[in-house]
């Protein structure tokens, strides 16, 4: 996704490792491929606009013990 997109690559590298992880987890946590593709598109647009984290998302479920059942399923 970053290959050949210098603007996105620069913005991506400026994010903290935790912020990058939040974007990645948000993107891959979608169950349907169509939703993952929409999220990749939105990730690109929003990171280029300067957003640091995905909006309105409670965070990576693998970090919360109560949500592990959804990740491990």
Confidence of residue 4 (pLDDT cuts 50, 70, 90): confident
Q: What is the pLDDT of residues 28-56, one digit of tens each?
A: 988 999 999 999 999 999 999 999 998 87
> What pLDDT score was predicted for residue 68?
56
In 9-33, which positions are buried (b, 16+ CB within 10 angstroms) versus exposed (e)? eebbeebeeebbebbebbbebeeee
Output the 3-class SS for 58-69. CCCHHHCHHHHH
pTM of the model: 0.78
65 pLDDT more than 80: no
CA dist., res. 55 & res. 62, Å (int)? 18
Confidence of residue 73 (pLDDT cuts 50, 70, 90): very low
């Amino acid at each position: 996704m970053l290959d050949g997109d210098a603007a996105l690559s620069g913005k991506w590298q400026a994010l903290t490792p935790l912020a990058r992880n939040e974007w990645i987890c948000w993107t891959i946590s979608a169950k349907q491929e169509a939703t993952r593709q929409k999220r990749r598109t939105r990730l690109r647009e929003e990171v280029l606009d300067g957003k640091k984290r995905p909006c309105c998302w409670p965070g990576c479920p693998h970090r919360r013990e109560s949500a592990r059942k959804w990740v491990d399923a």
